[in-house]
Amino acid sequence: MEIDHTQDQEQDDTSSSSSCCWLCLGGGPDASGMPLVRNCSCRGSSGLAHLSCIIRYAEIDGRNSYGSTGNIGAAFQQCRNCKQEFQNDLRYHLERARVLFVEREFSQDHMLHLRALIHRVRVLDAENDADRAEGDQTCFKMVSIIDEMKSHHAQREWSGELLKMEAVVLYVIGLFHMSVGTEESLQEALEYFGSATYLFTLLQDEINILSAKKNIAKIEAKFNGDEIPHDEGNDLAFSQRQYKYWLGKLGEQHPITIRRGEMLAHALYCLNQGIAAERLLMKSAAISRQVHGPTHNCTLSATAALKDVKERRVFIDSRKQWFQALRYENEGLSCVVRGPVVDSMQEQEENMLTLSLPITDVFPGPGTPVVCQGLIERAHLNGKIGDTRGFNGGKFEVHFEEAGLEPATIEHENLRIVFQLP
């Protein structure tokens, strides 16, 4: 699928007669006919601007920042009003403008040049012919800059930030070739990831070592025609470390942290830790909605993930099929279900049934939040919430959310699905 990067600017609120560019204060298109755009976390009438005005402002801010800090600031990447990163097509255009600006005015600053090229290659679409060609040129340019930098430094001097920059460049080039997906490009990606892993090892950068090794394993599995290797325990540990790292570095409101939280929730859900996954996604979606707005990529993604996790899948014993549980009725003696749940959305819609079945026929799926009731010998567990982790002989292994409660084996009849976590 090829993408036209000239037509994807966000249009909400830009057509209003009262809308104007916060930089030039002009309404409507700029001199070249480009409309007002906005793709950050601003809402209402704030944050709208012409692309040309944002670029002009970012260049002025970049010159001023470079003179005092040695860097060009964040105006090419971050909205001055909401302090959040640009996204989607606006980010695509501004990353290109950033590279052109740096190459025009600061090409002698190799580290600044490399950072601009790294961010540019990350927004390119490898399925688009023009982007793929630009990506190849950008990767070659990054390697050339690294070689030139090395020629001006003795080997003993090539350490610290210089070594880390080389490792990141190699890793990013690996990601680009991996996204191209041809056999030749995947072979190149393996080589770049391998070199990056070696350098990350010298730097003792465990997060990036794991990331590079995961990508190597994916490519090797594809070459061998195998299933992509999947170690759920390691995936969870990796996701936890990444989330903790970005949470500490950027805070809980940053889009990167929110995305890492979504990845952690997925890892939790795959290990049937449904309650922890749902609570994390509830938190992430609420933060993203409040800070970035309801239409931001992070909000949409976290909300969609939360919707999936909140589905209460159940196995209907009489039909030997999976359904989605909706609610209880008849004083909790019956459960309303909808399904069957199948992979194909079209097939699912065509054959969808809504049934009211006795609870003895409805068995919660792995990771489903449940609450204990009617227990006599272990009455202290009544009202306690946990998620199902295993099933054997009509009994579920339940892991409780409350600290200090040991997992317990509970009869099916003593469990009820929790449709809304308290």
pLDDT value at residue 227: 65
Contacts of 137 (CB under 8 A, 6+ apart): none
pLDDT value at residue 277: 97
Contacts of 210 (CB under 8 A, 6+ apart): 238, 241
Q: What are the structure tokens assigned to 133, written together?
A: 């060609």
- The answer to whether 116 touches 58, Cβ cutoff 8 Å, is no
Q: What are the structure tokens assigned to 70, written together?
A: 């040695």
Classify 176 as helix, strand or coil. helix
pLDDT value at residue 366: 95
pLDDT value at residue 247: 94
Q: DSSP character for 409? A: E
DSSP per-residue string spanning 64-123: HHHHHHSS--STTTB-TTT--B--HHHHHHHHHHHHHHHHHH-TT-HHHHHHHHHHHHHT
pLDDT value at residue 212: 92
Low-confidence stretches of the chain (pLDDT beneath 50): 1-15, 346-347
Candidates 274, 216, 196, 209; CA nearest to 238 is 209
pLDDT value at residue 233: 57
- State the Cα–Cα distance between residues 248 and 245, nearest whole angstrom: 5
- State the Cα–Cα distance between residues 209 and 196, nearest whole angstrom: 8
- State the Cα–Cα distance between residues 229 and 221, nearest whole angstrom: 7
pLDDT value at residue 343: 63
pLDDT value at residue 12: 45
